[in-house]
Structure 1
Amino acid sequence: MNNTHILPPTYLLIAIVLMIVLHFLVPLVKVISFPWNLLGLLPFGAGCVLNACADRAFKKVGTTVKPFQEPTTLITDGVFRLTRHPMYVGFVLILLGIAIFVGSMTPYLVVVAFPFLLEKIFIQVEERMLEETFGETWLTYKQKVRRWI
């Protein structure tokens, strides 16, 4: 497959920059102030841990973490028992944590839109590839484990 695709971490970085820009240019209303905004560190940290665990699982079995590349192994244990896409859930948690931390309303627009972007650009393609590669094993896993949470 073509390796020139923009990878998910780049979309995450763009989303973070967009959230910060929105916060400073169009904050609308401050909904969470200090010290409550520090609670944003919890989803942020959980998202980082979820991504690290998923990345470790990919490396452990020696399959690709990159979308659009054919996987060699279907991972169904560890964090993959909670969600079929733990890295994307982690990304959304990171964005949620940042939105809570900055405390204004407009960054939540990015938090809400981001999963739809991931769904359209990555998840649909990845799940189609997984079904083609792993067939019935994928379909059984798909029935047992939710896409998000």
Structure 2
Amino acid sequence: MSERRLIYPPVWMVFGVVAIFVIDEYLPGPRFAGASAQFAGSALLVGGLAMLVIAGGLFARADTGMVPFRDTRVLVTRGLYRYSRNPMYLAMALVLLGVAVTVGASLALAVPPVFLVIIERRFIRAEEQQLEALFGEEYRAYCRRVRRWL
């Protein structure tokens, strides 16, 4: 994948947020609302943002690159990475789910799964190949211990 043409995962997340607001504004469909939806959506949003910060901090602490396909020097397996091989992508999906629940447009609930499919196809497959090439058996053992998502 050409470096110039690569749209990084946070940009895809922003596209997802925009899509949620477009769906909310222009596509009729069942709606849900109320204090419980607002609370649940806000909790998912804040939880996802917290996970992003924590997972990014683990990369910084390990002194390795966070940008896909660049500057990978260390296999990060601590913290959130003990439970998911992709906590940053999972966190972005939680942010999108939180926004969708908060706005209350049920059709917008399709955005997080679409985001995950895009990320899996555009990033995760290639990242896994790169990590296996770089870290070999250490990475394969990590994959046996830790699931891709949860």
Task: Answer yes or no: same fold by TM over 0.5.
Answer: yes
Aligned to 1:17: 18
Percent identity between matched residues is 31
* 1:44–1:97 contact (8 Å) kept in structure 2: yes
For residues 27 and 91 of structure 1, what CA distance do their matches in structure 2 show?
25
Structure 1 pair 98–27 and aligned structure 2 pair: CA distance change class (3 A): farther
* 1:27–1:105 contact (8 Å) kept in structure 2: no
Number of equivalent positions:
148
For residues 49 and 27 of structure 1, what CA distance do their matches in structure 2 show?
32
TM-score after normalising by structure 2 = 0.94
Aligned to 1:35: 35
For residues 113 and 72 of structure 2, what CA distance do their matches in structure 1 show?
29
1:17-36 Cα deviation digits (max 9, x unpaired) = 01110111003111x21212
Aligned to 1:58: 59
For residues 41 and 127 of structure 2, what CA distance do their matches in structure 1 show?
30
For residues 44 and 141 of structure 2, what CA distance do their matches in structure 1 show?
30
Residue 46 of structure 2 aligns to which amino acid in structure 1?
G
Aligned to 2:109: 108
For residues 76 and 54 of structure 1, what CA distance do their matches in structure 2 show?
11
| Deviation at residue 70 of structure 1 after TM alignment | 4.3
| Deviation at residue 68 of structure 1 after TM alignment | 1.5
Secondary structure of the residue aligned to 1:24 is helix
The ranges of structure 1 where at least 4 consecutive aligned residues each deviate by more than 4 angstroms after the TM superposition are none
For residues 27 and 45 of structure 1, what CA distance do their matches in structure 2 show?
27
CA RMSD of superposed structures (Å): 1.3
Is residue 2:80 matched to residue 1:79?
Answer: yes
- Point out the more displaced range, 71-80 or 38-47: 38-47
1:12-70 Cα deviation digits (max 9, x unpaired) = 0011101110111003111x212122110111111111110110011111100000214
Aligned to 1:91: 92
Gaps of 5+ in 2: none
Residue 34 of structure 1 aligns to which amino acid in structure 2?
G
- Point out the more displaced range, 76-85 or 32-41: 32-41
Residue 33 of structure 2 aligns to which amino acid in structure 1?
S
Gaps of 5+ in 1: none
